[in-house]
Structure 1
Amino acid sequence: MNTLRSTERFSDRVADYVRYRPTYPAALLDWLHKAQGVTTDWRIADVGAGTGISSKLFLDAGHTVVAVEPNAAMRGAAVEWLSSYRTFSAVDGRADATTLDDGSVALVSVAQAFHWFDPESTRREFHRILRPGGLAAIYWNSRRLVGTPFLEGYEALLKTYGTDYTSVAERYADEPQMREWFGQGWRGTASFDHRQLLDFDALRGRLMSSSYAPQAGHPNHEPMIDALRKLFDTCAVNDQISFDYDTRVYVGEVL
C-alpha cells in the first residue's frame, strides 16, 4: 500500500473529485436504517472520508459525523463543503490511528477507501473506537466494466492510457473476503444499482478525478482525452452517457 502513496495520490485531483465523483444511493442508507437497526442518533466515524461525499450522506439524514482523513487537501475540501452542518467535524487521522476516543462512535463508515487499509491494524482500531454493539459499514461504488459499449470502451481506455491502473483498479474485496474480515461479527450485505448521467465535460472530470489518469504534460494525457472524446461521441444518447455502478455494502460488528 505504501508504494501506491495511498494517503497522497489524490492531492492534486481534489477539485475534480469534489465535482465529479459519484454520491451513494439513498437505498444504501435506508438499508442500514431498516435492516441493520442504525438510527439517526448514532454517531458516525467516516474513515477515509476524502472530500466528504460519504459524510454528507449521513449528515443529510440527521447523523453526527466525524470525518477521519489523512490527506490535508481532501480533508480541507470536506471542511469547506460541509461547514454549514453543525453536526460535522473532521480530524487528521488514519484507519489504524483515527485519534478518536475509545468507544466514542456507534458506526464506522468506510466508503471507497477500505482497499487502502491494512486489514489487521484497521480491525483493532475500529474495535477500539466502536461502542459495544456498534457496527462497521464498508461500502463502495464498483464501476461496471462490461454491459454497454461505453463501459467496455472506458475500461479499454484506462488500460491503454492509465499510469498505474492495473495496480489499483477494482481491488475491492468480495463477499468471502469481507466475511472473513468480520468473522463472528458478520451481519449482512446488500447491493444497489447506481449511475451518473454525464455530459462530456463531466465525463472528463470524472476521468481526471482518478489517480491513475495522466495529467496535462504527461505524454498519455492528450491521446487519452482524444480517445475519451471519440468514445463519448460514439456512445452518447442525448449528449450524455450512463456511468454505471454496483454499490456494495458489507456490515458487521468488529470483534
Structure 2
Amino acid sequence: MPRRPSVPNAERFLGRAEVYAAARPSYPPELRDWLAARHLLGTVADIGAGTGLFTQLLLAGGARVSAVEPNPDMRAQLAARLAAAVEAGQLTVQDGTSEATGLPEQSVSLVTAAQAAHWFDPERTLAEFRRILTPDGRVLLVWNDWRGVATPFNEAYGQAVSRFYREGENPLQISRVPEGDLPRFMPGGHETVIFDNPLPLSRERLHGLASSISYLPAPGDPAHALMTAALDDLFAAHAHEQEEMGQQVTLHYRTHAFLGRV
C-alpha cells in the first residue's frame, strides 16, 4: 500500500466533520459524574471542541461552556447539534486555538481538551490556560483509545487499518499526549482516571469511524475505497447479531482522563 504524504494540522479534518460527528465514540457518563462530584462543572472552556462530543457531556452536567474550535466545518457541526444550548445561553461557540482562545482573563474554572491536546503547542498553550483560568482553576485532558485493549476485534482492526497510515506518521503520537509529556500542560501535578467505553458499530459506522481519523484516507482519497473493502472483510469475519440492532462489531475503547493544575 503506497504511503500518503502528511498534511498540515489545520487541514486534517476538512471534509471529515460529518463522519466525525456520526461515527466517533462519545464519552461515558461516569466521567461526567466524576467531574460533578468534584464540583468542576461550572464555567468551562472546551478547547479543540470539534463537533461537540465532549461539549455535550459538559452541558449535560450543567456546565456553562465556551467551545473553542479552529476548524470551520467542525465548528458548524457543533453549533448545529447543540443549537438549543446556544439559544439557552449555556453555550457559546467561537473560532480560536489553545494558544489564542479569545476568551477573557480568569473567565473559566475548568479548561478541557478531549481528543485534541496532542495538536497543541505545550508552552504557548500553558501560558494561555494560565491566562483564562481562575486562580484555583483546573485542566482536564481526555482521550478515547482502543489500543492496548486486547480483544480479537481490536487487534484485527488495528492490523487492517495499519496498511493505510499516512507516510511517516505514528498514530500513537498523533492521537494522544504521551503521559511523560503531561507535566508540560499540568506542571502542578495531575490525577488519572480510566473508564471502559465500548463502541458498538454497524458496517456503516465502522466505515465512518475510519473515515473520520486524520491519519487514514478521507472520502475522495484514492485509497479510501481500498480501506473500505478491507473493513468490509473485517466486519464479515467478526460481526455478531444484536437483538433489534442487526449485525454489529464492538471496538472496545477506554476513556483516559487527566485532571491537573497549571
Same fold (TM over 0.5): yes
Q: Within the alignment, does 1:149 sit opposite 2:152 as a pair?
A: yes
Q: How does 1:97-246 map to 2 (within 5 A)?
A: 97-145=100-148, 147-164=150-167, 167-171=169-173, 172-179=176-183, 181-183=185-187, 185-238=188-241, 239-246=247-254
Task: Return structure 1 stretches of 4+ with deviation > 4 angstroms.
Answer: none
Structure 1 gap ranges (5+): none
Contact 1:24 1:247 in 2 (8 A): yes
> Who is 1:84 aligned against?
84
- Residue identity matched to 1:175: E
Question: Displacement, 1:189?
Answer: 1.0
2:54 paired residue number: 54
How many Å separate the matches in 2 of 1:63 and 1:146?
31
1:155-203 deviations in Å (ceiling 9; x for gaps): 1122212334x615122224333145422x2141111111110110111
Which residue number in structure 2 is paired with residue 15 of structure 1? 18
1:250 Cα offset (Å) = 0.8
Deviations 1:208-246 (A, max 9, x none): 111222234533222211111111110111111111111
- The residue type paired with residue 141 of structure 2 is I
- How large is the Cα RMSD of the aligned pairs? 1.7
- Consecutive unaligned residues of structure 2, counting only runs of 5 or more, are 1-5, 242-246
TM-score by length of 1: 0.91
- Deviation, 1:9, is 1.0
How many residues align? The count is 247
Alignment-mate amino acid for residue 43 of structure 2 = R
Q: State the TM-score, normalized to the length of structure 2.
A: 0.89
Q: Which of 248, 257, 260 is the aligned partner of 1:249?
A: 257
Paired AA for residue 48 in structure 1? G
Letter in 2 for 1:54: F
Q: What do residues 88-109 of structure 1 show as CA deviations (whole Å, max 9, x unaligned)?
A: 1111100000000000001001
Distance 2:73 2:66 in 1: 17
